[in-house]
């Protein structure tokens, strides 16, 4: 079995609707601020790519993104590397 590399994740606060799917799926990486109504990343903000893709796919606001590099993110509508 090939292990996929860890990737960094980020939350677009302008798109976040605080649905809580990210926090429910990966509570060690995401936290939802119920007062501000937005999720954010905590700690190193890294996940194995397959788990990050699940969080991206399940985000109702399409706010969770995989950080490709310092200037670009990968959202749910874009294919991942190797597809």
CATH, residue 50: 3.30.70.20
Say how many domains are in the chain. 1
Residue at 46 is within a domain: yes
Buried b (16+ CB within 10 A) or exposed e, 48-63: ebebbbbbbeebebeb
Q: Mean pLDDT throughout 46-53?
A: 95
Give pTM, 2 decimals.
0.78
pLDDT of the residue at 5: 86
pLDDT band at 50 (very low <50, low <70, confident <90, very high): very high
Q: Indicate if the pLDDT at residue 78 is higher than 70.
A: no
Residue at 83 is within a domain: no
pLDDT of the residue at 1: 44
Domain containing residue 43: 9-69
């Amino acid at each position: 079995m090939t292990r996929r590399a860890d990737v960094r994740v980020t939350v677009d606060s302008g798109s976040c609707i605080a649905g809580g799917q990210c926090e429910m799926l990966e509570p060690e990486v995401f936290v939802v601020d119920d007062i501000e109504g937005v999720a954010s990343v905590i700690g190193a903000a890294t996940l194995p790519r397959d788990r990050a893709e699940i969080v991206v796919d399940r985000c109702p606001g399409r706010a969770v993104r995989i950080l490709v590099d310092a200037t670009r993110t990968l959202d749910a509508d874009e294919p991942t590397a190797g597809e």
